[in-house]
């Protein structure tokens, strides 16, 4: 018999705040987390804007030895995981930690470490490469270090599907608990890509916005959009088997009821122009949830603010939902957060969860110029009080990876 899977804990460190409460309050106050890049000198780059975690001091969270041994993305992941686990109330007294898993992803991993150690090699030779280079740089180390930090000993994996990574992580965690293999799983993603090679790589592929006005840089579905804004941070959710959560008296934020994932099999960076891959991911999630398209109240779109993404996702939503696409409320919250890459899906899963909890639709902020081709019911600029019992979140990644999760109000 399949198990029901609920959300019992949330954790985050983002460009909007150092925890979930700060992040959500900033969103409600229409804060844009995008600003001038300070983490590196961008005088020779066209890209001037990013969404950085503000006023971050690792010594608030780790001792000096740990800060030297954990890449920035792993630090963020650990901070968010600690908050999520604490929020859930899961302890070794009420839960067997042998049955708590970690499904934590990153699109890129320890990019700051990779850049630093490559510089060491070119400037000083191979003997000056740190022995910590590999364990700091590889993409699975957020999951590995969370396990060490929190002492959880269930299945630990890191799924890498670019910007769909943390939605895949949540979806696969949901499937694992649903099948009865774990009691609870820490699921989400982390990213810290704001460095010379990160900016240069995305800039040279013409993916980034070159805007210098922070309020017109990440503008999903707006006709004047010109690229995405890179962001950093980490977001985690605790997924838990329903009976286990109820037995220990947990607060339940919502229930994950559907997951769908597909591949475009089309291009290494561009989405399939007919939107077929994203369409099928949404349809799979809807079928898995056992609902109808008209049951969905809100869609948090991938909505990256690139011309192709927003256009093809619009088409995909129309194809997946049919007539219901004309009335479902849609927004992309990347106007607030920028694009957190591998952590974006987990950020948006938390936003969907909070939207259900407070019965509101978050807006696409700084939306001004309507694009006739992106003709969904885009919620612009202000939160709207509205029934949100079922929310869908889409994530689409380079390589043609598509992932969709559906979250429902717990009843």
Closest listed residue to residue 184, CA positions, set 254, 237, 257, 235: 237
What separation in angstroms does the CA of 383 have from each of 25, 29, 97, 333?
12, 9, 39, 11
Residue 47 pLDDT = 98
Residue 1 pLDDT = 82
Q: Please check whether residue 89 is in contact with residue 376, taking contact to mean a CB–CB distance below 8 angstroms.
A: no
Q: In CATH, which of 1.10.10.10, 3.40.47.10, 3.40.50.10310, 3.30.1300.10 is domain 259-408?
A: 3.40.47.10
Q: Which residue in the block uniquely carries the two structure tokens 């000056």?
A: 128
Q: pTM of the prediction?
A: 0.98
Alpha carbons 354 and 88: distance in angstroms, whole number? 15
Q: Which of 302, 352, 374, 401 is catalytic?
A: 302
Angle at 155 between CA 180 and CA 169, to 5 degrees: 85
Q: Which of 244, 339, 352, 374 is catalytic?
A: 339
Rounded to the nearest 10°, the torsion over CA 379, 32, 15, 343 is: 30
| 235: DSSP letter | E
pLDDT along the chain (411 residues), means of 10: 96 98 98 98 98 98 97 98 98 98 98 97 96 97 98 97 98 98 98 98 97 98 98 98 98 98 96 96 98 98 97 98 98 98 98 98 98 97 98 98 98 91
Q: Which of 32, 163, 235, 352 is catalytic?
A: 163
Q: What are 295's strand-pairing partners?
A: none
What separation in angstroms does the CA of 60 have from each of 64, 75, 88, 144, 343?
10, 11, 22, 21, 22
Residue 219 pLDDT = 98
Q: Please check whether residue 163 is in contact with residue 169, taking contact to mean a CB–CB distance below 8 angstroms.
A: no
Residues of the chain with CATH 3.40.47.10: 5-247, 259-408
267 is catalytic: no
Residue 15 pLDDT = 98
| 339: DSSP letter | B
Question: Residue 15 burial by CB count (10 A; 0-12/13-18/19+): exposed, middle or buried?
Answer: buried
Q: Are strands 35-36 and 5-13 parallel, antiparallel or unpaired?
A: unpaired
Domain 5-247 has CATH 3.40.47.10: yes
Closest listed residue to residue 297, CA positions, set 252, 254, 260: 254
302 is catalytic: yes
């Amino acid at each position: 018999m399949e198990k029901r899977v609920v959300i019992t804990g949330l954790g985050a460190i983002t460009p909007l705040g150092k925890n979930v409460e700060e992040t959500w309050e900033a969103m409600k106050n229409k804060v844009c987390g995008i600003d001038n890049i300070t983490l590196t000198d961008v005088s020779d780059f066209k890209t001037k804007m990013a969404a950085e975690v503000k006023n971050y001091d690792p010594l608030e969270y780790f001792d000096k030895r740990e800060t030297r041994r954990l890449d920035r993305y792993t630090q963020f992941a650990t901070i968010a995981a600690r908050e999520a686990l604490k929020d859930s109330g899961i302890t070794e007294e009420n839960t067997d930690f042998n049955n708590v898993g970690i499904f934590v992803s990153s699109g890129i991993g320890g990019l700051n470490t990779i850049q630093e150690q490559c510089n060491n090699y070119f400037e000083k030779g191979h003997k000056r490469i740190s022995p910590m280079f590999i364990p700091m740089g590889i993409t699975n180390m957020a999951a590995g270090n969370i396990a060490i930090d929190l002492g959880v000993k269930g299945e630990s994996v890191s799924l890498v599907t670019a910007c769909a990574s943390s939605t895949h992580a949540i979806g696969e965690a949901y499937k694992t608990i649903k099948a009865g293999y774990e009691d609870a799983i820490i699921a989400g993603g982390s990213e810290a890509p704001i460095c010379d090679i990160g900016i240069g790589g995305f800039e040279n592929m013409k993916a980034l916005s070159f805007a210098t006005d922070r309020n017109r840089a990440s503008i999903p579905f707006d006709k004047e959009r010109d690229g995405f804004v890179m962001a950093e941070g980490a977001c985690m959710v605790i997924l838990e088997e329903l009976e286990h959560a109820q037995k220990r008296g947990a607060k339940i934020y919502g229930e994950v009821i559907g997951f769908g994932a597909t591949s475009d099999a089309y291009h290494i960076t561009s989405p399939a122009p007919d939107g077929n891959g994203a369409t099928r991911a949404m349809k799979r999630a809807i079928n898995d949830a056992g609902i109808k398209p008209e049951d969905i109240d809100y869609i948090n779109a991938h909505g990256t603010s690139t011309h192709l993404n927003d256009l093809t996702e619009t088409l995909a939503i129309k194809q997946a939902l049919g007539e219901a696409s004309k009335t479902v409320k849609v927004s992309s919250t990347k106007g607030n957060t920028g694009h957190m890459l591998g952590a974006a899906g987990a950020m948006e899963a938390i936003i969907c969860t909070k939207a259900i909890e407070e019965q509101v639709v978050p807006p696409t902020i700084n939306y001004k110029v309507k694009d006739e081709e992106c003709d969904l019911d885009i919620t612009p600029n202000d939160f709207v009080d509205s029934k949100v019992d079922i929310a869908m979140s889409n994530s689409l990644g380079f390589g043609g990876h598509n992932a969709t999760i559906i979250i429902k109000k717990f009843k």
